[in-house]
Amino acid sequence: MRSLGYAILGFFFLATYPDLHAQDTINKVQIDPVLHGSLVLQFNGKTIYLDPYGGAELYQNFPKPDMVLITDIHGDHLHQETLDGIATEQGLLIAPQAVYDKLEGNQFREIMIMNNGEDTVIDDIGIEAIPMYNLPETEDSRHPKGRGNGYILTLGDQRIYISGDTEDTPEMRALRNIDIAFVCMNMPYTMTVEQAADAVNEFKPAVVYPYHYRGRPDMSDTEKFKSLVEANNEVTEVRLRNWYPE
Protein backbone atom coordinates (compact mmCIF):
# COMPACT_ATOMS: atom_id res chain seq x y z
CA MET A 1 0.00 0.00 0.00
CA ARG A 2 2.86 2.38 0.77
CA SER A 3 4.35 1.98 -2.74
CA LEU A 4 0.94 2.46 -4.29
CA GLY A 5 0.49 5.70 -2.36
CA TYR A 6 3.71 7.13 -3.74
CA ALA A 7 2.84 5.95 -7.25
CA ILE A 8 -0.51 7.74 -7.05
CA LEU A 9 1.21 10.85 -5.72
CA GLY A 10 3.63 10.78 -8.62
CA PHE A 11 0.83 10.40 -11.17
CA PHE A 12 -0.50 13.86 -10.37
CA PHE A 13 2.91 15.52 -10.82
CA LEU A 14 4.52 14.02 -13.88
CA ALA A 15 2.84 16.22 -16.49
CA THR A 16 3.49 19.56 -14.77
CA TYR A 17 6.19 22.14 -15.51
CA PRO A 18 8.12 24.63 -13.39
CA ASP A 19 7.06 28.25 -13.09
CA LEU A 20 10.35 29.94 -13.94
CA HIS A 21 8.94 33.29 -12.78
CA ALA A 22 9.15 31.94 -9.21
CA GLN A 23 12.94 32.22 -9.31
CA ASP A 24 14.57 34.00 -6.36
CA THR A 25 18.10 35.20 -5.76
CA ILE A 26 19.31 35.55 -2.18
CA ASN A 27 22.88 36.79 -1.68
CA LYS A 28 23.98 35.44 -5.07
CA VAL A 29 22.27 32.07 -4.58
CA GLN A 30 19.73 31.56 -7.38
CA ILE A 31 16.78 29.40 -6.30
CA ASP A 32 14.39 27.72 -8.73
CA PRO A 33 11.46 25.69 -7.40
CA VAL A 34 10.79 22.82 -9.79
CA LEU A 35 8.21 20.38 -8.42
CA HIS A 36 7.15 19.02 -5.02
CA GLY A 37 10.49 18.38 -3.25
CA SER A 38 12.66 19.30 -6.24
CA LEU A 39 14.66 22.48 -6.70
CA VAL A 40 17.71 23.84 -8.48
CA LEU A 41 20.33 26.04 -6.84
CA GLN A 42 22.92 28.01 -8.77
CA PHE A 43 25.88 29.75 -7.18
CA ASN A 44 29.26 30.93 -8.40
CA GLY A 45 28.99 29.05 -11.69
CA LYS A 46 27.87 25.78 -10.05
CA THR A 47 24.45 24.16 -10.55
CA ILE A 48 22.98 21.81 -7.94
CA TYR A 49 19.89 19.65 -8.46
CA LEU A 50 18.01 18.53 -5.34
CA ASP A 51 15.85 15.40 -5.70
CA PRO A 52 15.24 15.76 -9.47
CA TYR A 53 11.75 14.46 -10.18
CA GLY A 54 8.85 14.79 -12.58
CA GLY A 55 10.59 14.16 -15.92
CA ALA A 56 13.79 15.40 -17.54
CA GLU A 57 11.87 18.01 -19.54
CA LEU A 58 11.46 20.03 -16.35
CA TYR A 59 15.24 20.57 -16.32
CA GLN A 60 15.84 21.42 -19.95
CA ASN A 61 16.10 25.17 -19.23
CA PHE A 62 18.73 24.71 -16.52
CA PRO A 63 22.49 24.17 -16.92
CA LYS A 64 23.71 20.61 -16.60
CA PRO A 65 24.22 19.72 -12.94
CA ASP A 66 27.59 19.88 -11.28
CA MET A 67 26.02 18.11 -8.30
CA VAL A 68 22.89 16.05 -7.77
CA LEU A 69 21.79 15.46 -4.17
CA ILE A 70 19.15 12.87 -3.34
CA THR A 71 17.56 12.60 0.08
CA ASP A 72 15.70 9.27 0.12
CA ILE A 73 14.60 6.15 -1.77
CA HIS A 74 10.95 7.03 -2.44
CA GLY A 75 9.95 7.77 -6.02
CA ASP A 76 9.34 11.47 -5.46
CA HIS A 77 13.02 11.82 -4.44
CA LEU A 78 14.86 9.04 -6.23
CA HIS A 79 13.08 9.18 -9.61
CA GLN A 80 14.98 6.93 -11.97
CA GLU A 81 13.18 8.05 -15.12
CA THR A 82 14.08 11.69 -14.50
CA LEU A 83 17.70 10.85 -13.69
CA ASP A 84 17.97 8.77 -16.86
CA GLY A 85 16.94 11.76 -18.98
CA ILE A 86 19.27 14.34 -17.40
CA ALA A 87 22.82 14.86 -18.66
CA THR A 88 24.61 13.83 -15.48
CA GLU A 89 27.87 12.54 -16.94
CA GLN A 90 29.84 15.55 -15.65
CA GLY A 91 28.01 15.66 -12.32
CA LEU A 92 28.74 14.37 -8.85
CA LEU A 93 25.96 12.39 -7.16
CA ILE A 94 25.67 12.67 -3.38
CA ALA A 95 23.26 10.29 -1.69
CA PRO A 96 22.87 7.99 1.31
CA GLN A 97 23.74 4.32 1.05
CA ALA A 98 20.09 3.26 0.70
CA VAL A 99 19.70 5.45 -2.40
CA TYR A 100 22.93 4.19 -3.94
CA ASP A 101 21.73 0.61 -3.46
CA LYS A 102 18.64 1.34 -5.59
CA LEU A 103 20.29 3.25 -8.45
CA GLU A 104 19.98 1.64 -11.84
CA GLY A 105 23.06 2.28 -13.93
CA ASN A 106 23.28 6.06 -13.92
CA GLN A 107 26.33 7.70 -15.46
CA PHE A 108 27.83 10.24 -13.10
CA ARG A 109 31.35 11.61 -13.02
CA GLU A 110 31.54 10.39 -9.45
CA ILE A 111 29.24 9.04 -6.74
CA MET A 112 29.77 9.94 -3.09
CA ILE A 113 27.86 8.12 -0.37
CA MET A 114 27.07 10.31 2.63
CA ASN A 115 25.16 9.13 5.65
CA ASN A 116 23.73 10.93 8.67
CA GLY A 117 26.30 12.99 10.54
CA GLU A 118 28.90 13.08 7.77
CA ASP A 119 30.18 16.26 6.15
CA THR A 120 32.51 17.27 3.36
CA VAL A 121 33.63 20.21 1.24
CA ILE A 122 33.67 19.91 -2.55
CA ASP A 123 34.65 22.81 -4.83
CA ASP A 124 34.23 25.21 -1.89
CA ILE A 125 30.69 23.93 -1.25
CA GLY A 126 30.11 22.58 2.25
CA ILE A 127 27.75 19.61 2.54
CA GLU A 128 26.40 18.16 5.78
CA ALA A 129 24.08 15.13 5.96
CA ILE A 130 21.35 15.66 8.58
CA PRO A 131 19.02 12.93 9.92
CA MET A 132 15.47 12.96 8.51
CA TYR A 133 12.88 10.62 9.94
CA ASN A 134 9.38 10.15 11.32
CA LEU A 135 8.37 10.28 14.95
CA PRO A 136 7.81 8.19 16.92
CA GLU A 137 10.49 5.85 15.64
CA THR A 138 8.83 2.53 14.81
CA GLU A 139 9.75 -0.55 12.77
CA ASP A 140 7.16 0.30 10.10
CA SER A 141 8.06 3.98 9.80
CA ARG A 142 7.80 5.46 6.32
CA HIS A 143 11.09 7.25 6.98
CA PRO A 144 13.25 5.41 9.54
CA LYS A 145 16.16 7.26 11.09
CA GLY A 146 19.44 6.65 9.30
CA ARG A 147 18.07 5.80 5.85
CA GLY A 148 17.67 9.23 4.30
CA ASN A 149 19.47 12.55 4.51
CA GLY A 150 18.43 16.11 4.91
CA TYR A 151 21.27 18.40 3.85
CA ILE A 152 22.91 21.64 4.86
CA LEU A 153 24.76 23.28 1.98
CA THR A 154 27.17 26.13 2.55
CA LEU A 155 27.34 28.33 -0.56
CA GLY A 156 29.62 31.28 0.12
CA ASP A 157 28.38 32.63 3.44
CA GLN A 158 24.89 31.15 3.07
CA ARG A 159 23.85 28.02 5.00
CA ILE A 160 20.95 26.32 3.25
CA TYR A 161 18.90 23.56 4.89
CA ILE A 162 16.93 21.05 2.80
CA SER A 163 14.70 19.02 5.09
CA GLY A 164 13.84 16.04 2.92
CA ASP A 165 11.00 13.94 4.34
CA THR A 166 11.03 14.42 8.07
CA GLU A 167 9.13 15.39 11.16
CA ASP A 168 10.18 18.07 13.62
CA THR A 169 13.07 16.05 14.99
CA PRO A 170 15.46 17.19 17.72
CA GLU A 171 18.15 17.51 15.04
CA MET A 172 16.01 19.95 13.06
CA ARG A 173 15.07 21.95 16.13
CA ALA A 174 18.74 22.20 17.13
CA LEU A 175 19.80 23.81 13.84
CA ARG A 176 21.37 27.25 14.14
CA ASN A 177 22.61 29.93 11.75
CA ILE A 178 20.49 28.76 8.83
CA ASP A 179 20.04 31.44 6.18
CA ILE A 180 17.60 29.63 3.89
CA ALA A 181 15.45 26.61 4.77
CA PHE A 182 13.22 24.37 2.68
CA VAL A 183 10.79 22.64 5.04
CA CYS A 184 8.33 19.87 4.19
CA MET A 185 4.76 19.62 5.50
CA ASN A 186 2.58 16.97 3.90
CA MET A 187 0.48 14.40 5.69
CA PRO A 188 0.51 11.51 6.28
CA TYR A 189 4.13 11.37 5.17
CA THR A 190 5.98 14.12 7.05
CA MET A 191 4.76 17.02 9.25
CA THR A 192 1.58 18.90 9.92
CA VAL A 193 1.58 22.63 9.27
CA GLU A 194 1.65 23.21 13.02
CA GLN A 195 4.67 20.94 13.55
CA ALA A 196 6.58 22.61 10.73
CA ALA A 197 5.83 26.11 11.99
CA ASP A 198 6.75 25.22 15.57
CA ALA A 199 10.09 23.76 14.47
CA VAL A 200 10.86 26.78 12.29
CA ASN A 201 10.05 29.06 15.21
CA GLU A 202 12.64 27.20 17.24
CA PHE A 203 15.58 27.15 14.80
CA LYS A 204 14.68 30.51 13.18
CA PRO A 205 16.15 30.50 9.69
CA ALA A 206 16.42 33.91 8.04
CA VAL A 207 14.20 32.77 5.14
CA VAL A 208 12.00 29.69 4.92
CA TYR A 209 10.21 28.16 1.96
CA PRO A 210 7.50 25.59 2.65
CA TYR A 211 7.92 22.89 0.01
CA HIS A 212 6.90 19.24 -0.42
CA TYR A 213 3.44 20.27 0.82
CA ARG A 214 1.13 18.09 -1.23
CA GLY A 215 -0.02 15.02 0.64
CA ARG A 216 -3.02 12.75 0.41
CA PRO A 217 -5.64 13.91 -0.29
CA ASP A 218 -4.99 17.65 0.08
CA MET A 219 -2.42 20.42 -0.14
CA SER A 220 -1.12 21.68 3.18
CA ASP A 221 -2.23 25.17 4.11
CA THR A 222 0.92 27.19 3.48
CA GLU A 223 -0.85 30.47 4.29
CA LYS A 224 -1.59 29.08 7.75
CA PHE A 225 2.07 28.10 8.09
CA LYS A 226 3.06 31.64 7.19
CA SER A 227 0.70 33.14 9.76
CA LEU A 228 1.89 30.78 12.52
CA VAL A 229 5.50 31.69 11.88
CA GLU A 230 4.89 35.42 11.58
CA ALA A 231 2.81 35.51 14.77
CA ASN A 232 5.59 33.99 16.86
CA ASN A 233 8.84 34.77 15.12
CA GLU A 234 10.18 38.18 14.13
CA VAL A 235 13.38 36.72 12.67
CA THR A 236 12.15 34.51 9.83
CA GLU A 237 10.76 35.64 6.49
CA VAL A 238 8.32 33.14 4.97
CA ARG A 239 8.36 32.95 1.17
CA LEU A 240 5.49 31.11 -0.51
CA ARG A 241 6.10 29.76 -3.99
CA ASN A 242 4.07 27.52 -6.26
CA TRP A 243 5.65 24.07 -6.28
CA TYR A 244 2.65 22.58 -8.13
CA PRO A 245 1.99 24.76 -11.20
CA GLU A 246 -0.91 23.82 -13.43
pLDDT digits (tens, 9 = 90+) for 16-48: 444 444 789 999 999 999 999 999 999 999 999
The answer to whether position 208 is within a domain reads yes
The answer to whether position 119 is within a domain reads yes
pLDDT confidence of 189, banded at 50, 70, 90? confident
The predicted-structure confidence for 61-75, as pLDDT tens digits, reads as follows: 999 999 999 999 997
The answer to whether position 243 is within a domain reads no
Report the CATH number at residue 53.
Answer: 3.60.15.10
Residue range of the domain that includes 195: 2-238
CA distance 170 to 131: 10
pLDDT score for 217: 76
The answer to whether position 12 is within a domain reads yes
Q: Average pLDDT of the chain? A: 89
139 Cβ neighbours under 8 A, 6+ residues apart: none
Number of domains in the chain: 1
Structural element, H or E, at residue 230: helix 222-232
The answer to whether position 160 is within a domain reads yes
The answer to whether position 156 is within a domain reads yes
Torsions phi, psi for 240 (to 5 deg): -95, 130
The answer to whether position 245 is within a domain reads no
Query: In this model, does residue 119 exceed pLDDT 70?
Result: yes
The answer to whether position 205 is within a domain reads yes
Q: Is 67 helix (H, G, I), strand (E, B) or coil?
A: strand
pLDDT score for 245: 80
Structural element, H or E, at residue 172: helix 170-173
